Amino acid sequence: MLAGTTAGVAYVVADDVKAPYAQAAATVQSNGTIHNAKGIESVKRINPGEYCINFADADLKVSKSILQATANSTNRIIQVTWGSGHGCGSAQNTAKVNTTNENGTKADSWFTISVH
């Protein structure tokens, strides 16, 4: 997979992940860099512990999908939100991942996310 960053936004050039039952999936590093991905247009770390995910399929409605996310760093709690007001725009194919430490303070974390 080829990946890169432009102005703080990580993007994927090619999908090479084998995830036949997921519409989209990614492993994201704590700085927002995409490590592996399928169906992800971009990831942007907007603040510590806050990441905007833009899914490649413009017709994907995250509000009608099952999103699953897992924090891959020690002592991190993860939350996924979508819709207007979440800080990542109002497009139907975007979601926001928030990660915090055990005290509830926003903190960066590696994470995985999948859309079913």
Residue extents of the structural domains in the chain: 3-115
The pTM assigned to this predicted structure is: 0.85
Strands (E), the chain: 3-6, 9-12, 24-28, 34-38, 40-47, 50-55, 67-71, 76-81, 94-101, 111-115
pLDDT tens across 28-73, in order?
A: 999 999 999 999 999 999 999 999 999 999 999 999 999 999 999 9
Q: How many whole angstroms separate alpha carbon 89 and alpha carbon 73?
A: 27
